[in-house]
């Protein structure tokens, strides 16, 4: 039953997109040389959860990214991107995770605007620290207006998250409108509003109604270029998740969130690149209770503040072989000891672009 449900939207959209593109530009595509990037990283991860003593875990990752693009006559672009990561850490035995992603996307001229068609598939066979094994087909349909300094985009999008080992399946459909004001190359303003509807088929119905919710999200950000080599961005977003059911499952029920992110990317020479990023996010649940260290309800609704910093530097002698150094630090504070944790990680790696 479930399998027939997953395949539906994403695969049909991908097939439709491929057929549509063939119809739109028969034989007009000029394919670019595909890219293939293989990576290998290794390092250590220190973490503490629920107030436990810190533990050190060696970790390693292999990754592959492949992309292919073709420019269509008339200015359209079609691309296929695939990425796969397999990583694991040692904790009295190897614990493996994986993540796969496939996206077929097309940008087609539509008058003076651009039409976006996309379909993809996210998945994980082994699961990750945050996610159970899952597969998630998704789709997007959008229209972008051209020009400077104002640009607008309207997007309809959706996904279906299928988790065979859990009861967290979600169908999500949303509309997103964004407006960009870009008066100069030095700074620009990006704003967006998104409204979405979710349906959770595995949650019990509430008063005869299916378990469903509404997600509203607003974003605003600034970004630009300092000098010629330093990109910067500051972004904040906030939203509200209103659900008609609270089942005691952590992700159920209503909540609101507010977050801020900042990034700096500096590449003073083609051989070198540095990146620094940071974020802060506050989540507050409207029904979910915070628990005491004994596991009993504290009488307060749960809230959590997550903070993080990450840095990455790479160097390449020839534009094909890249040597990487990465580090990150994250801290989550909450009024529930079970939700508190921190982590530090440091990694060295190598990537090769074919």
Partner 1 sequence: MSQPTLSGAERMARAAGPMRVPRRTAALAVFLLAALLPLNAQSLESVLSRSRYSPEVRGEVGRLFQEAGQRGIPVEMLLPRLEEGIAKKVPAARLLAVLEREQELLLQARSLLSGLDGGEKLVRDRASWARAANLLAAGYAGDEVAELARASLNRTEDFRPAASLYVSLRGWGLLAGPALELVRGLLASPISGERFPGIMELFIEGRRLRLQPETLIQRLLEQLPQARTIEELRRMCLQP
Minimum CB–partner distance for residue 107 and partner 1 (Å)? 6
The enclosing H or E element of 340 equals none
* Interface with partner 1 (CB under 8 A), residue from 34, 110, 184, 204: 184
Task: Give the footprint of partner 1 on residues 28-47 (CB under 8 A).
Answer: 32-33, 35, 37
* Cβ partners under 8 Å of residue 197, min gap 6: 172, 173, 174, 212, 213, 214, 215
CB of 268 to partner 1, least distance (A): 7
**Token output for 178:** 């964004």
77 touching partner 1, by CB under 8 A: yes
Bond from prior residue into 45 cis (ω within 30 degrees of 0): no
| Residue 22 makes contact with partner 1 by CB under 8 A | no
Residue 264 beta carbon to partner 1: minimum distance, rounded to whole angstroms: 11
Provide, rounded to whole angstroms, the least separation between the CB of residue 146 and partner 1: 7
- Least distance to partner 1, CB of residue 225, Å: 6
d(CA 190, CA 176): 13
CA 18 vs CA 29, 117, 226, 253, 312: distances in Å: 13, 10, 40, 39, 37
Contact at 8 Å (CB) between 64 and 38?
yes
Tell me, residue by residue from 305 to 344, as one string, x for binding to partner 1 by CB under 8 A and - for no binding.
--------------xx-x----------------------
Q: Report the alpha-carbon distance of residue 336 to residue 304 in Å, rounded.
A: 8
Q: Is 106 near partner 1 (CB under 8 A)?
A: yes
Phi, psi of 204 (to 5 degrees): -65, 150
* Other residues' Cβ atoms within 10 Å of the Cβ of residue 204: 11
| Residues at the contact surface with partner 1, assessed by CB under 8 A | 32-33, 35, 37, 65, 67, 69, 71, 75, 77, 79, 81, 103, 105-107, 114, 116, 118, 146-148, 151, 182, 184-185, 225, 228-229, 231, 265, 267-271, 273, 319-320, 322, 351, 353
């Amino acid at each position: 039953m479930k399998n027939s449900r997953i395949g539906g939207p994403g695969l049909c959209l991908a097939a439709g997109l491929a057929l549509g593109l063939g119809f739109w530009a028969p034989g007009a595509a000029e394919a670019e040389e595909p890219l293939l990037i293989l990576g290998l990283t290794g390092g250590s991860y220190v973490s503490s959860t629920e107030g436990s003593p810190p533990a050190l875990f060696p970790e390693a990752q292999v990754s592959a990214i492949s992309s292919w693009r073709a420019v269509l006559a008339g200015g359209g672009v079609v691309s296929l991107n695939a990425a796969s990561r397999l990583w694991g850490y040692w904790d009295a035995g190897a614990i493996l995770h994986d993540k796969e992603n496939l996206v077929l996307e097309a940008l087609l001229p539509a008058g003076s605007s651009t039409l976006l068609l996309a379909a993809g598939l996210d998945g994980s066979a082994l699961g990750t620290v945050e996610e159970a094994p899952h597969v998630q087909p998704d789709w997007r349909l959008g229209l972008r207006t051209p020009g400077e300094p104002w640009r607008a985009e309207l997007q309809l999008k959706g996904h279906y998250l299928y988790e065979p080992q859990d009861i967290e399946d979600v169908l999500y459909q949303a509309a997103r409108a964004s407006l960009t004001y870009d008066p100069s190359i030095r700074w620009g303003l990006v704003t967006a509003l998104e409204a979405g509807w979710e349906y959770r088929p595995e949650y019990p119905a509430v008063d005869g109604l299916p378990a469903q919710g509404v997600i509203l999200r607003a974003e605003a950000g600034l970004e630009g270029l300092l000098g010629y080599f330093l990109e910067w961005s500051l972004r904040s977003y906030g939203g509200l998740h209103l659900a008609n059911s609270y089942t005691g499952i952590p992700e159920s029920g209503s909540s609101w969130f507010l977050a801020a992110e900042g990034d700096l990317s500096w590449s003073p020479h083609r051989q070198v690149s540095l990146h620094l990023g940071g974020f802060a996010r506050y989540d507050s649940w409207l029904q979910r209770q915070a628990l005491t260290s004994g596991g009993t309800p504290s009488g307060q609704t749960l809230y959590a503040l997550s903070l993080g910093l990450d840095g990455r530097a790479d160097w390449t002698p020839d534009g094909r072989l890249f040597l990487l150094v990465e580090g990150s630090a994250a801290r989550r504070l909450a009024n529930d000891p079970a939700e508190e944790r921190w982590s530090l990680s440091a990694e060295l790696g190598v990537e090769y672009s074919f």
